[in-house]
């Protein structure tokens, strides 16, 4: 069984045989180093209401969206899962 992790910059998906919240990789598609987020976290970010998002939300890398959403209390990530 594999899990999907998404590049915060370009959206490239990487499969890995383990389940963690995020992994740090250099993306083979855009060559940027970043925190690839588990697909379930991406789903939570996509569910953030439009009126709660800052003006530049669409321009922010996904890892920056996550930092903002956590800081503002818009998403929660459990320490024990599921995430």
pLDDT digits (tens, 9 = 90+) for 2-45: 999 999 999 999 999 999 999 999 999 999 999 999 999 999 99
CA distance 47 to 53: 10
The pLDDT of residue 81: 58
Number of domains in the chain: 1
Strand order in the sheet with 22-26: 13-16, 3-6, 33-38, 22-26
Identify the band that residue 77 occupies on the pLDDT scale cut at 50, 70 and 90: confident
pLDDT > 90? residue 59: yes
pTM to 2 decimal places: 0.86
Say whether the peptide bond before residue 82 is cis (omega within 30 degrees of 0). Answer: yes
Look at residue 79 and tell me if it is in a domain: no
Look at residue 78 and tell me if it is in a domain: no
Look at residue 83 and tell me if it is in a domain: no
Q: For residue 26, give its domain range.
A: 3-71
Q: Are 82 and 40 in contact (CB under 8 A)?
A: yes
Look at residue 77 and tell me if it is in a domain: no
CA distance 5 to 73: 23
Of 37, 45, 42, 43, nearest to 19 by C-alpha is 37
The pLDDT of residue 60: 96
């Amino acid at each position: 069984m594999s899990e999907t992790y998404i590049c915060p910059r370009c959206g490239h998906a990487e499969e890995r045989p383990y389940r963690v919240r995020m992994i740090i990789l250099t993306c083979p598609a855009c060559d940027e180093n970043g925190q690839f987020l588990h697909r379930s976290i991406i789903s939570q970010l996509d569910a953030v209401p439009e009126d709660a998002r800052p003006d530049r939300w669409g321009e922010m890398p996904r890892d920056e969206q996550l930092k903002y959403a956590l800081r503002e209390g818009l998403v929660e990530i459990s320490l024990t899962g599921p995430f």
